[in-house]
Structure 1
Amino acid sequence: MAWLPFCLLPLVVSTGLCAPPVLTQPPSASASPGASVKLTCTLSREHSNYNIGWYQQRAGQAPRYIMYLKSDGSHTKGDGIPDRFSGSSSGADRYLTISPLRSEDEAEYLCGLGYSTGGIFQGFHSDSDKGEVGLKPPSLCLLLPGDSGTCSLSLSRC
């Protein structure tokens, strides 16, 4: 009898155990320099124990690794990431807190994870380049005194 990949078994498929993870980020956040902001990345319920990475992407630049955030709230930050950046977790939610905000923090913040099934590794993240499956990730907009604008972006999921 030929070996069948684990995910092809009807019982497993029907229980959703092989469903890929989904990461969702809410609309953008607006804050003033000196304030605190808490950004959220929510994992699909069946993947609520997964660890993620947080990334910062400034306009015209490659994403910068911020931290690896575990489901228990512990985290490891990338080189040169200041103490103003911290992470925490609650259930399926993974948080990135920046306090106090500085003008250079204005950027897009993306969450992502690695996922393996049947020996195949796939990366899942909130992605602004896949219009059919993911929308633009949230931006962090800093409102300076006298600014009246706001930023409003759609929900993002992989």
Structure 2
Amino acid sequence: MTFIILMLILGMYFQDSTGQVTVIQTPAEKHVQNGQTVTLTCKTSSAIGDLSNGWCKNCFSWFLQKPGESPKLLVHSIKTLQSGTPSRFSGNGADHGTDFTLTISGVQTEDTGDYYCMSYQHINSKDVFTQ
């Protein structure tokens, strides 16, 4: 059985005194078979940074939204699985990096939906969230 994992390409722009922060997700749409492995990518235009006090270490997350439902947090802090997220999901990327991935090993039909990444930057004493 073939099913579709949809992923939106999002470019959110926030103007700040340091310039623009953008986030791009790829691919826009991915068709996979049950049991296959799929990797989704999110690239930020500036490095994801930590606050000096450490309360927001590795601020990067992945969400899954199914039709008619609210987004569900899958992965936070780049690599940490949210409680209840199946182990077939894994996040990857470097602390203070710009390239992040979500890999689903052994895709199942229930994984169908829209996937979003969210990043956090602390720029000139302002919190900037992008999705």
Give the TM-score normalised by the residue count of structure 1: 0.59
Cα deviation, residue 84, structure 1: 0.3
Q: Does 1:22 align with 2:22?
A: yes
Rounded to whole Å, the distance in 2 between the matches of 1:98 and 1:112 is 18
Which is greater in Rg?
1
Moved more, 18-27 or 30-39: 18-27
Where does the alignment leave 5 or more consecutive residues of structure 1 unmatched?
A: 1-6, 8-12, 126-158
Q: Does 1:56 align with 2:64?
A: yes
Greater strand proportion: 2
Rounded to whole Å, the distance in 1 between the matches of 2:38 and 2:65 is 17
Retained in 2: the 8 A contact 1:54–1:69?
no
Identity %: 27
Q: Does 1:65 align with 2:44?
A: no
Where does the alignment leave 5 or more consecutive residues of structure 2 unmatched?
A: 1-15, 50-58
Q: Which letter does structure 2 place at the counterpart of 1:23?
A: V
Q: Report what 1:130 is aligned to.
A: none
Greater helix proportion: 1
Secondary structure at the counterpart of residue 104 of structure 1:
helix
* Structural mapping, 1:4-23, within 5 Å: 18-23=18-23
Q: How many pairs does the alignment contain?
A: 104
Give the TM-score normalised by the residue count of structure 2: 0.70
- The equivalent position to 2:85 in structure 1, one of 78, 81, 88, is 81
Retained in 1: the 8 A contact 2:48–2:119?
no
Rounded to whole Å, the distance in 1 between the matches of 2:121 and 2:67 is 28
Q: Does 1:92 align with 2:98?
A: yes
Rounded to whole Å, the distance in 2 between the matches of 1:120 and 1:102 is 40
Retained in 1: the 8 A contact 2:48–2:60?
no
CA RMSD of aligned residues (A): 1.9
Runs ≥4 residues deviating over 6 A: none
Q: Report what 1:36 is aligned to.
A: 37
